[in-house]
Structure 1
Amino acid sequence: MTEVTLGLSLAGIRGKGASLAEVARRAEQVGYDSVWTGEAWGADAFTPLAFIAGITTRLRLGTAIAQMPARTPAATAMTALTLQQLSGGRLILGLGASGPQVVEGWHGVPYRPPVQMTREYLAILRQALAGTGKVAFEGSVYQVPYTGPGSTGQGRALRSQLPGAPQTPVLIAALGPKNVAMTVAEADGLLPYLWSPRHWKNAWGEALAAAPAGFQIAPTVLACVGDDVEACRDEVRPRIALHIGGMGSKTKNFYANLVARYGYVEEANRIQDLFLGGDRAGACAAVPDDLVDDLALVGPPARIADQLAAWRDGPLSTVIVEPTDHTMLEAIAGIW
């Protein structure tokens, strides 16, 4: 069985930098391998990592995820190269396509089919991260230099002014089978959400069977440590219900589709109907215990230790724990 490293999601930390600094220092002290930030339509994913890079020495710094439609491939490469330089090469670059509600509703750009968009984005990003030549690409989504409608015709291929960092791990948050297959072929790893250690093969078994040696799989898993198992389940239900019920429309919700592929078809439909109908409390209550136990780590330390055996007995390289309260981070490290 290969070693599975422990990461910490920094989701939920708001406010002053002192709070972020405290959690990052504690994580480094008690043995976490990495910390991870994300973005939706509030804080960005990279600024907190630059802050953490200056106050830690060992922690790897991951984005789970940074949204590709929010930045051109070159802009992402610039940020990654800068962070690699500032942190001594500790960045893990996790990227995702997001969904049409965020892409068009917040970023104001068209939502493009994620498989082709991601493939082209990675091709340009790799060139820019390599730092060995001028970046040029001609695809159906991206053209660098741009020569299409509205161009001046004066664009020219450029090479990064910063030293290259081709060793930067690039992981993709893919959920659909086609996107996961593309990720296996083109990226260094996968960043799944709502991973099931019991049912992952139903969703991705064929695609992940083709993964090369060294391919990283780093799911984010909700966690709540406490003596009352049911109370711990109730702490994580809202997050699960939000993704299955509210992270997309009735016809386009990647998380609901994923859970359905795990075998929870009726449950996913009911959660969606309640959530989109405005009954969020009902949607949370509709998340069954079996599904919570499948997707999250909940209960006393001994129970979570038993649960972790299933997570370790699989293809994972890192488990990114997202605790319901960061006072739990030492307890989780102790279980690990």
Structure 2
Amino acid sequence: MRPGAPLLRSVVAVKLSMMINYSGDFHADVERVRELEAAGLDIVWVPEAYSFDSVSQMGYLAAKTSTIQIGSGILNTYSRTATCMAQTAAGLDYVSGGRFVLGLGASGPQVIEGFHGVPYEKPMARIRDYINVCRMTWRREKVVYDGKAVQIPLPEGEGTGLGKPLKLINHPVREDIPIFWASLMGLSVTATAQYADGWLPIFFDPEKFHTVWGDELKKGQAQRDESLGQLQISAGGMVAIGDEFAGDAADRVLDMARPNVALYVGGMGARDKNFYNTITQKYGYVDEAIEIQDLYLSGKKEEAASKVPREMLANTNLVGTASHVKERIAAYQEAGVTHLAVTPIGDPTKTIEQLRDLMG
């Protein structure tokens, strides 16, 4: 077992997952998802950010597919109330025949305050409260909840005073809809390992992830309810398989990730509060992370992208010969990854078929 392998895990068959583009051609994406479903893709994640809402699109996907799981990647916990989130998840699980996965996250103040006009307060506590309320709602219990961020019904002295505890009218397809938490650092990762069914990390290096999140994962897993089972992890990156991607030839693919990594490491958040930059430093790329941020915030975005360490790109993507990619899949599996999140370079259907062959 690698030193970074999470506690309380067993090696399981890895599922294949993919994110569709929130700014792309959705109707074309749906047809592609249907092809990928036939090729063996297990789950498709539908993002939202501040684009079209993802719920209507996931309902459409449910009608157009039959076996693939459909996940929200992610729904933020500020633009919908906790019980609305539970209703939404139960509704999507119903129309999909039990194929929905609820991906939750806090987004960031730029979107929450700037687009939704809601104060960005208590993000970690809020998500934990949402998880508890969702599960309570799906069990059709009367929703009475007094959390740090969520109180249902409204406390005495707030509102009209006419609110009363209610329970969901319908009987959900499942009481245990999987909940994945897109957490980044510290207490949120600990809470994810304790409360959520799954985790959606970023920049996941299967050999080094323990240097960033190991202590938090162990602490949360030590307090985890056994009934939740193993913490599922969805992680991965770009995938390009073939002899033409061997050795230095992989660089032209890995370089495609540079602008996006530089955006997150250099430009997401204030200089002194950028979690993606902190993650990069915790991986050991301290000087590089500082330089990327300095360049990016100075407007030198291309130069910032050029400073992203190649080792980081190589370790967080799956690019190379078939034998190399097979080794990388094994590394992710040994690290506890249950859902290999892939961004195919080239023909997506062919890539999924290649991955299925490599995974046996």
Q: Specify the alignment match of 2:162 in structure 1.
A: 154
User: 2-side partners of 1:272 and 1:333: how far apart?
Assistant: 38
Equivalent residue for 2:256, pick from 235, 246, 262:
235
Q: Specify the alignment match of 1:223 in structure 2.
A: 239
Return the letter of the residue paired with 1:258.
I
Q: Any residues of structure 2 matched to 1:244-263 within 5 Å, and which?
A: 244-263=265-284
Q: Specify the alignment match of 1:313 in structure 2.
A: 334
User: 2-side partners of 1:249 and 1:223: how far apart?
Assistant: 31
Q: Specify the alignment match of 2:123 in structure 1.
A: 114
Q: Specify the alignment match of 1:6 in structure 2.
A: 16
Q: Are 1:334 and 2:342 counterparts?
A: no
CA deviation string 1:274-333 (max 9, x = no partner): 2222121112111121111122222454443333232122111111112356x3342243
**Per-residue deviation, 1:230:** 1.4
Q: Specify the alignment match of 2:99 in structure 1.
A: 90
**Per-residue deviation, 1:96:** 0.5
Q: Specify the alignment match of 1:323 in structure 2.
A: 344
Task: Specify the SS of the correspondent of 2:45.
Answer: strand
Return the letter of the residue paired with 1:25.
R
**Per-residue deviation, 1:13:** 5.8
Do 2:126 and 2:149's aligned partners in 1 also have CA atoms closer than 8 Å? yes
User: 2-side partners of 1:286 and 1:46: how far apart?
Assistant: 38
Q: Specify the alignment match of 2:207 in structure 1.
A: 198
Q: Are 1:123 and 2:132 counterparts?
A: yes
Return the letter of the residue paired with 2:33.
A
Identity score, percent:
32
**Per-residue deviation, 1:16:** 4.6
Q: Specify the alignment match of 1:75 in structure 2.
A: 84
**Per-residue deviation, 1:140:** 2.9
Deviates more, 1:314-323 or 1:25-34: 314-323
User: 2-side partners of 1:220 and 1:38: how far apart?
Assistant: 16
CA deviation string 1:229-251 (max 9, x = no partner): 11101111122112212222212
Q: Specify the alignment match of 1:293 in structure 2.
A: 314
Task: Identify if the C-alpha distance between structure 1 residues 321 and 149 changes in structure 2 by more than 3 Å, giving closer, same or farther.
Answer: farther
**Per-residue deviation, 1:104:** 1.2
Equivalent residue for 1:214, pick from 210, 226, 230:
230
User: 1-side partners of 2:94 and 2:289: how far apart?
Assistant: 44
Do 1:128 and 1:135's aligned partners in 2 also have CA atoms closer than 8 Å? yes
Return the letter of the residue paired with 1:143.
Q
User: Over aligned residue pairs, what C-alpha RMSD do you find?
Assistant: 2.0
Do 1:301 and 1:331's aligned partners in 2 also have CA atoms closer than 8 Å? no
Return the letter of the residue paired with 1:305.
K
Deviates more, 1:23-32 or 1:291-300: 291-300
Equivalenced residue count is 333
Deviates more, 1:178-187 or 1:291-300: 291-300
Q: Specify the alignment match of 1:185 in structure 2.
A: 194
TM-score if structure 2 supplies the norm length? 0.86
CA deviation string 1:182-205 (max 9, x = no partner): 111111121111111121111222
Task: Specify the SS of the correspondent of 1:69.
Answer: coil
Do 2:45 and 2:70's aligned partners in 1 also have CA atoms closer than 8 Å? yes
Task: Specify the SS of the correspondent of 2:113.
Answer: helix
TM-score if structure 1 supplies the norm length? 0.92
Task: Specify the SS of the correspondent of 1:57.
Answer: coil
Equivalent residue for 2:37, pick from 28, 49, 69:
28
Task: Identify if the C-alpha distance between structure 1 residues 270 and 323 changes in structure 2 by more than 3 Å, giving closer, same or farther.
Answer: farther
User: 1-side partners of 2:330 and 2:130: how far apart?
Assistant: 36
User: 1-side partners of 2:203 and 2:112: how far apart?
Assistant: 21
Task: Identify if the C-alpha distance between structure 1 residues 44 and 268 changes in structure 2 by more than 3 Å, giving closer, same or farther.
Answer: farther
Do 1:219 and 1:320's aligned partners in 2 also have CA atoms closer than 8 Å? yes
Return the letter of the residue paired with 2:238.
L
Q: Are 1:53 and 2:69 counterparts?
A: no
CA deviation string 1:26-83 (max 9, x = no partner): 1111111111111211132322221111111110111121111121111111111111
Return the letter of the residue paired with 1:175.
L
Do 1:9 and 1:220's aligned partners in 2 also have CA atoms closer than 8 Å? no
Return the letter of the residue paired with 1:263.
G
Where structure 2 has 5 or more consecutive residues not aligned to the other structure, the ranges are: 1-10
**Per-residue deviation, 1:166:** 1.5
